[in-house]
A = this chain, B = another copy of it.
Amino acid sequence: MALITETYLRTQLIKGLANPFPVTEGDKLTPAAADFLKERGIPLQRLASQSSGTLSLNLLPVGVSNRHVHLAPHHIDMLFGEGYQLTPLRELSQKGQFAAVETVTLKGPHGSLSNVRILGPSRGLTQVEISRTDGFELGVHPPIRLSGNLAGTPGITLVGPKGSVALPEGLIIAKNHVHASPDEAQILRLNNGDRILVQAMGERPVIFADVIVRVSPQYSLDFHIDRDEANAAHLTTGDTVQIIPKNAERRLR
């Protein structure tokens, strides 16, 4: 069931509006949306309600990442004490990944951010992911990078209960990306390394261009964005965004 608004229909124009326009049982059109279709001579096509799932519809679930830290084992020791083990708080969408009970404080040249969540398990390299907004708070302006691509990035100081770490590099703003398992990728006709366009379908129909697709058996389908991107596109974890297909013709009316 969906509420179909004129704004939503306008966002569909970029990839060409389906004609007839499919609606499933229980879908509701606002009066303005109904007028919008009528003005364009587009009839409705009523489909039986079924659990079509998101995969067949070029839709992706959204995962919003707040600022967080991945720690190398020796940095866990320095921040929390020798041999310390992180305590899982909740599982994340990606298999084996968890948000830990533990947090640290980030100290930058102009300010600090406390209660910054650690994500586990530990990694080879410590990496700190913040938003551009966070960067203004800290007074440091890291580049947009994919996870693990840390060469030449700025450092930051981490403070834990047992000590601190002055990281020489490893601070990034995460580049948005899609995670998918090989099966999910196949259904969505995506390949590892593809760069796609992804559009929010709500009050702010932002299109994220140049979104990189990462395919791995370890991954589950998710479009990862940071908090600035989520707020600019009015998205929340669990929302759905659509892939704009390659070679689609865009029409604005």
- Residues of chain A touching chain B, judged by Cβ–Cβ distance below 8 Å, are 7, 10-11, 14, 131-133, 143-144, 195-197, 199, 203-210, 227-229, 231-234, 244, 246-252
Contacts and interface: CB of A to CB of B under 8 A. Distances in A.
Nearest to A136: B231
Contacts of A250: 14, 244, 248-250
A198 to B, nearest CB: 10
A205 B198 CA distance: 12
A197 to B, nearest CB: 7
Contact of A252 (B203, B204, B231, B247): B247
Most buried by B among A10, A205, A210, A248: A210
A14 to B, nearest CB: 6
| Copies of the chain in the assembly | 2
- Sort A-B residue pairs by CB-CB distance and give the 7 closest, nearest first: A232-B232, A207-B207, A228-B231, A132-B231, A205-B209, A250-B250, A229-B232
Contacts of A231: 131-133, 228, 232
Contacts of A251: 247
A209 B144 contact: no
A197 B252 CA distance: 9
A91 B250 CA distance: 39
Contacts of A143: 203
B144 A210 contact: no
A233 B232 contact: yes
A232 B206 contact: yes
